Chains A and B, each alone.
Chain A
Amino acid sequence: MLQNLFPNADWAEIWKAIIDTLYMTAISVVATFILGIILGLLLFVTAKGNMFENVVIYKCVSAIVNIFRSIPFIILIILLIPFTMIIVGTMLGSTAALPALIIGSAPFYARLVEIALREIDKGVIEAAQAMGANKWQIIWKVLLPESMPALVSGITVTSIALVGFTAMAGAIGAGGLGTLAYMDGYQRGNRDVTLLSTIFILIIVFILQIIGDYMTKRLDKR
């Protein structure tokens, strides 16, 4: 029956495309999570009135984050081609898409991290200081655990945006479901392949959302 509905589908190709999309999404989500938390923490702790108040660092990080958040992703990939060539050695394939994916989404996530950290009750930070906690203890034992549900729901939103980014990267040869939809579907006029790619992308997105919601709920003890 599937053969009738999607006459042009090459299931081995589709399977490979799904794996490529999952690979790009997984690696870039993990890297974005780490890099975004580092940048977000940096923004939070150097902001006015906080532990490491430092106008210069805050303004610099803030400017970098804003710039990379503002460049349309498809343009960012092209701009980053020389950088990608240096660290990956090629500009084709799934791995070559990773630098652009991470650099495109980490600044966005960093802002979500900053917002999540700002939501923490100042009184709790004050209580930790009153107990004699040093700054690292406050970061590890107060800031990160207390904001964890917001950090997880933030990475859920970001990872869904990232699936979209992988599809865009696919249009210029990163592989995955984006390439499949564009090359096999659009350029060869196989509408069924485009539709199939869309369905699998939607399935991936729904699964990510369900996992994210579940984890946020589990972590949130408020």
Chain B
Amino acid sequence: MIKLKGIKKFYKTKTGLVNALNGIDLEVNKGDIFGVIGYSGAGKSTLIRLINMLEKPSEGRINVDGSEMSTLSKKALRDARKQIGMIFQHFNLLWSRNVKDNIAFPLEIAGVPKRERERKVKELIHLVGLEGRESAYPSQLSGGQKQRVGIARALANDPKVLLCDEATSALDPKTTEAILDLLVDINQKLGLTIILITHEMHVIKKICHQVAVIDNGIIVEEGEVLDVFRSPQMAITKDFVKQVTSDSESEEAVKLIKQTYPSATIARLTFAGEAANRPVISELLKQEAIDVNLLEGNLSQTQRGALGTLTLLLDGEAPKVKDAITFVENQGVVVEVIQHASEPVS
């Protein structure tokens, strides 16, 4: 659906050339929710703006649904943009128009007749759950409601692609959840391809099918969300994964346990998809004669299955502990040993 090939983007500034993007290759399949995650300044904002040509690439090709974006005439580009909806961190609604008229705005631009516009606006207000607020002005709406207007507006011309530029970053956690649910809902109902950029791994975990990690203008890691969570390769990816699989409080707890039992083995198990649903631990206990102490656990749902982590304290004879770890690994669980048992002093 969307193909980026060899994308580079430089900016000229007073102090010289700044490389925002250093060669990006990316492919997004139809109907997928594709997340791009990176810290601020990594180039993700530039990346998403290239897809609808709000920024022009310095090098490389962008293909959206078969049309080569950089070669389009101005008129053809405007028509292509009507097929690509976009929502923004700060909503970017027209404050001089009420909810209805904000949603009708892209339809007016596309020259849709008044009657048809009214019908479509009604349908969209229902889709995003804003019934009863049609005549409110943006200043009278909450952040979540504003983003709902933004989403309705982005969907007005029945686009095939929706670009989300940090769409939930200005919202509180509860509202974020609701907006993410709405995005999944429209992805499924309308078969829309969604590309979103964010700095919150939580957003990726909750709604994305595919993820790309961007750092310093290049994609350092890419893949199925579950795979990336199960075995992140790069340090930056591990940092992002940590955002959702462990909170600082449990890190503290593990630290304390390490001090209390300096001679035990402590391992973090990451279950993803199929493995999360199997009784791995009970099988382990039947198999190996060791003691298992559960230190910390966490289970969450992604679009492609469950994702869980367990931090265990394994106590027993060294070879048996080793066997136990091998056994767990063979069940398709990723094991990271945080602390190795020290040799018993005897």
Q: Which A residues fall within an 8 A CB radius of B?
A: 121, 123-124, 126-134, 137, 141-142, 145-146, 148, 219, 221-222
Contacts and interface: CB of A to CB of B under 8 A. Distances in A.
B49 to A, nearest CB: 8
7 contacts: A123-B90, A124-B93, A130-B52, A137-B109, A219-B96, A221-B139, A222-B95
Contact of A145 (B86, B90, B96, B157): B96
B68 interface: no
B86 A128 contact: no
A115 to B, nearest CB: 18
Interface stretch (B77-85, B174-182, B217-225, B231-239): B77-85
B54 A129 contact: yes
Contacts, number: 68
Given A126-B54, A142-B94, A145-B96, A132 B86 contact: no
A128 B138 CA distance: 16
B34 interface: no
Given A121-B92, A126-B54, A145-B96, 11 more contacts: A127-B88, A130-B163, A131-B86, A131-B105, A132-B82, A132-B109, A145-B94, A145-B97, A148-B96, A221-B139, A222-B95
Given A126-B54, A128-B109, A222-B139, A133 B95 contact: no
B10 to A, nearest CB: 17
B110 A132 contact: yes
Contact of A127 (B92, B98, B139): B92
Nearest to A134: B78
Contacts of B81: 129-132
Contact of A123 (B84, B88, B98, B110): B88
B108 interface: yes
A32 B35 CA distance: 51
Given A141-B105, A141-B109, A222-B139, A124 B82 contact: no
A141 to B, nearest CB: 7
Nearest to A133: B109
Contacts of B84: 130
Given A126-B92, A132-B78, A221 B137 contact: yes
Contacts of A146: 94-96
Contacts of B90: 121, 123
Contacts of B98: 221
B106 interface: yes
Interface string B194-233: 0000000000000000000000000000000000000000
Contacts of A137: 108-109
Interface in B105-130: 105-106, 108-110
Q: Of residues B81, B92, B108, which shows the largest number of chain A Cβ atoms within 10 Å of its Cβ? A: B92
B54 A131 contact: no
B148 to A, nearest CB: 15
A146 B94 CA distance: 7
Contacts of A127: 86, 88, 92-93
Q: Of residues A129, A132, A142, which shows the largest number of chain B Cβ atoms within 10 Å of its Cβ? A: A132
B137 A131 contact: no
A59 B139 CA distance: 37
A141 B88 contact: no
Contacts of A142: 94
